[in-house]
Structure 1
Amino acid sequence: MNDESDQPGDDDDVAGNESDARIADGLAIIWEAYRLDEIPRATAAAKALVKDQSQHGEAWFWLGCCLERTGDYRAADKAFLRGTRAKVEPQNAPFRVSWRHFQAAVETAGDALPEKLKGALEEVSLVLADYAEPVLLEGFDEPELMGLFVGPERGDLLEGGAPDLSPRIYIFRRSHEHGCSSRRDFDSEVQQTLYHELGHYLGYDEDELDKLGRG
């Protein structure tokens, strides 16, 4: 006969749901401040979250992201390491690359484009940056973007008229580092981002890019 006291029950479910809710609420606060480039507020929120949820990998990961953005890489790496060892939702540590490697990865991605897409790439301005400025993140729920297309699509340009803004593709280094765990992953993700944003310039929406394997 089983001892019912040893079996998972409603109390465990309630505790788990409450923990999930606190994580979700805490991350939402961090992400909002992070998007707005209010890094002291984001860092304070992340420290509060890891104090409350010390075994959750995402809490430590985002503390690492905030500390990294202040330039405290040693403390950031410690937080990222804690995130890899977390019991709940462990996270991969970012794979950092030099700015020179980032530039080279983007150049290599451009060289790997099919010839018909290379012509399209020459029509847009490529902007490389570590992070997206708050104005670029307006309307997004995500705290970071891999890349972003801004400006008129190619079809609009062909219709004539003088656009207020030239077409641009932004590619961000840190978000690629945060989503990758090796040099190969980083280079591959940069190539995927370039394809994706160039697709937006050519008029493809998110669903169409997903179908093409470039989502």
Structure 2
Amino acid sequence: MRTLPRAFRERIANIAVVVEDWADDATLGEMGIEPPDTLYGLYRGVDITHRDSGYGNVLPDVITIYQGPIEEDAADEAEMAEIVRETVVHELGHYFGLDDDTMHRIEDGEE
């Protein structure tokens, strides 16, 4: 988390990051993903653009990182670390209600 862009770190609250082996069939189906495609990560929660002053006393939003596909696709530990970082940044983008174009600029260090 220390390597995430400052804009994210300063605004993150009430998020749990968990690691699971693989996305299950139900999750893949929910996302419209069919094998051999899979997920590296998934955000579940209410993004901050959809919260109002009454939002509180809730369980944390969850970012799930799927270890199996990352290990399978990464050539080495350095690439694995980079995939995890990019995945976490992407999923945090959903927490902030960002669109894909904005998330890609942040991932590329442009913002």
Bin for the TM-score computed over the shorter chain: 0.7 to 0.9
Matches within 5 A, 1:28-107: none
| Structure of larger gyration radius | 1
RCO higher in structure (CA 8 A, sep ≥6): 2
Per-residue Cα deviation, 1:21-67 (whole angstroms, up to 9, x for no partner): xxxxxxxxxxxxxxxxxxxxxxxxxxxxxxxxxxxxxxxxxxxxxxx
Q: Which residue of 2 aligns with 1:189?
A: 83
Unaligned residue ranges in structure 2 (runs of 5+): none
The structure in which a higher percent of residues are helix is 1
The one-letter amino acid of 2:33's match is: D
- Please name the residue that 2:8 is paired with: 117
Deviation of 1:132 after TM superposition, in Å, equals 1.3
Superposition deviation, residue 177 in structure 1:
1.0
**1:213 to 1:113, Cα distance in 2 relative to 1, 3 A:** closer
Q: What stretches of structure 1 move > 6 A for 4+ residues in a row?
A: none
- Aligned pair count reads 105
| Corresponding residue SS for 1:111 | coil
Q: Tell me the equivalent position of 1:130.
A: 21
Distance change (3 Å), C-alpha of 1:135 and 1:119: farther
Contact 2:14 2:60 in 1 (8 A): no
Q: Deviation per CA, 1:128-177: give whole Å up to 9, x if none.
A: 11111233221322431000111100122345346986421111111111
Cα deviations by residue, 1:94-127 (Å, 9 ceiling, x for unpaired): xxxxxxxxxxxxxxxx011233312434421112
Distance 1:139 1:114, change over 3 A: closer
More strand by share: 2
Percentage identity across paired residues of the two chains: 28
The alignment's TM-score, normalised by the length of structure 1, stands at 0.43
Give ranges in structure 1 of 5+ residues lacking alignment.
1-109
Query: Which of 79, 83, 96 is matched with 1:202 structurally?
Result: 96
Answer yes or no: is the 8 Å Cα contact 2:89–2:103 preserved in 1.
no
SS in 2 for 1:185: helix
Is 2:71 aligned against 1:171? no
In structure 1, what is the Cα distance between the partners aligned to 2:34 and 2:73? Answer: 13
State the alpha-carbon separation in 2 of the partners of residues 136 and 162 from structure 1: 26
TM-score of the pair, normalised by structure 2: 0.77
2:50 to 156, 164, 189: 156
